[in-house]
């Protein structure tokens, strides 16, 4: 089974919150919701945004993701990674305008970097709670990412590229320093509701690995919550293992 089909099959059957994120507000995403979003994103990448559409089969399609840490940025990266795209995920304070990384798609929830971008496709993605479209008008040449996604099927309709990683290879791309959480989760011997109190957001490969193993992850942002408050949150979320 190709990696993206494995992800979609596993997540669609996880009828529980696979990710809960406490930051400036609370996000909760179930497995079926994750499956639908990743399907839509992968369909959009393949149907409208791939450089293969213009006969360029020698260079992998590429995407620069400039979104706040959270489920949107994670699902965009998972869909692009598992489709065989080259991805770069950065933050607003780290805009990259050099030619060191040539990208076909530029995704952001800020208009300024998109207006300055030379990407073939520029998409504005609103990360406001419950947003279904960009609020307000968009400059010429910039697409509304959410509107484009809503036009896509909830079912994955395309094939990945030969360059796409296997699920095993993808899950091995965990960042240095994140192995401890994976080891502690694995030591539980069964799917567990995990809590992470951190200033940084888990990488897409780490979250994917935890989800494929059946775990549920609650991330509490240190910049928004004290340690005491985070403990209250983890207790209310019925977290069994907390990692700082």
Residue 240 domain-assigned (yes or no): no
- Taking only the tens place, the pLDDT of each residue in 173-226 is 998 888 888 888 889 889 999 999 999 899 999 999 999 999 999 999 999 999
pLDDT at 22 over 90: yes
What phi and psi, each to the nearest 5 degrees, are found at residue 89?
Answer: -120, 120
Instruction: Please give the pLDDT value at position 57.
Output: 62
> What H or E segment, with its residue span, contains residue 108?
strand 105-108
**In angstroms, rounded to a whole number, what is the distance separating the alpha carbons of residues 212 and 57?**
31
Residue 176 domain-assigned (yes or no): no
- Taking only the tens place, the pLDDT of each residue in 76-110 is 999 999 999 999 987 533 444 444 457 899 999 99
Instruction: Please give the pLDDT value at position 1.
Output: 60
**In angstroms, rounded to a whole number, what is the distance separating the alpha carbons of residues 56 and 102?**
14
Tokens of 59: 């260079």
Residue 230 domain-assigned (yes or no): no
**In angstroms, rounded to a whole number, what is the distance separating the alpha carbons of residues 63 and 102?**
9
Residue 221 domain-assigned (yes or no): no
Instruction: Please give the pLDDT value at position 94.
Output: 40
**In angstroms, rounded to a whole number, what is the distance separating the alpha carbons of residues 164 and 148?**
24
pLDDT at 155 over 60: yes
Instruction: Please give the pLDDT value at position 159.
Output: 84
Instruction: Please give the pLDDT value at position 244.
Output: 75
Instruction: Please give the pLDDT value at position 97.
Output: 45
Mean pLDDT value across the chain = 90
The average pLDDT across 28-47 equals: 97
Instruction: Give the number of domains in the chain.
Output: 1
Q: Describe the chain by its helix, strand, coil percentages, rounded to 5.
A: 40, 20, 45
Instruction: Please give the pLDDT value at position 98.
Output: 44
- Taking only the tens place, the pLDDT of each residue in 47-72 is 999 887 655 566 789 999 999 999 99
Instruction: Please give the pLDDT value at position 53.
Output: 61
Instruction: Please give the pLDDT value at position 163.
Output: 83
Residue 98 domain-assigned (yes or no): yes
pLDDT at 154 over 80: yes
Instruction: Please give the pLDDT value at position 95.
Output: 42
**In angstroms, rounded to a whole number, what is the distance separating the alpha carbons of residues 150 and 145?**
9
Q: How far is CA 5 from CA 38, 82, 157, 217, in A?
A: 11, 9, 10, 22
Instruction: Please give the pLDDT value at position 54.
Output: 57
CATH of the domain at 43: 3.40.50.980
Residue 51 domain-assigned (yes or no): yes
Residue 130 domain-assigned (yes or no): yes
Residue 103 domain-assigned (yes or no): yes
**In angstroms, rounded to a whole number, what is the distance separating the alpha carbons of residues 123 and 106?**
6
**In angstroms, rounded to a whole number, what is the distance separating the alpha carbons of residues 174 and 183?**
12
- The parent domain of residue 94 ranges over 31-165
């Amino acid at each position: 089974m190709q990696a993206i089909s494995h992800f979609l099959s596993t997540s669609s059957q996880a009828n529980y919150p696979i990710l809960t994120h406490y930051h400036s507000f609370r996000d909760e995403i179930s497995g079926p919701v994750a499956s639908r979003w990743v399907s839509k994103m992968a369909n959009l990448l393949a149907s409208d945004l791939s450089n293969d559409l213009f006969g360029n089969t020698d260079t992998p399609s590429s995407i620069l993701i400039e979104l706040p840490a959270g489920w949107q940025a994670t699902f965009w990266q998972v869909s692009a990674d598992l489709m065989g795209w080259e991805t770069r995920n950065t933050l607003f304070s780290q805009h990259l305008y050099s030619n060191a990384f040539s990208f076909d798609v530029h995704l952001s929830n800020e208009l300024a970097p998109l207006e300055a971008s030379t990407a073939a496709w520029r998409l504005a993605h609103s990360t406001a709670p419950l947003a279904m479209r960009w609020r307000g008008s968009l400059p010429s040449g910039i697409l509304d990412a959410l509107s484009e996604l809503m036009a896509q099927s909830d079912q994955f309709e395309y094939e990945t590229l030969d360059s796409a990683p296997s699920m095993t290879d993808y899950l091995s791309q965990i960042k240095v320093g994140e192995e401890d959480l994976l080891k502690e989760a694995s030591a539980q011997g069964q799917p567990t509701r995990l809590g992470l109190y951190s200033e940084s957001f888990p990488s897409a490969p780490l979250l994917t690995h935890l989800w494929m193993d059946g775990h549920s992850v609650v991330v509490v942002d240190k910049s928004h919550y004290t340690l005491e408050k985070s403990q209250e949150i983890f207790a209310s979320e019925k977290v069994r293992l907390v990692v700082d």
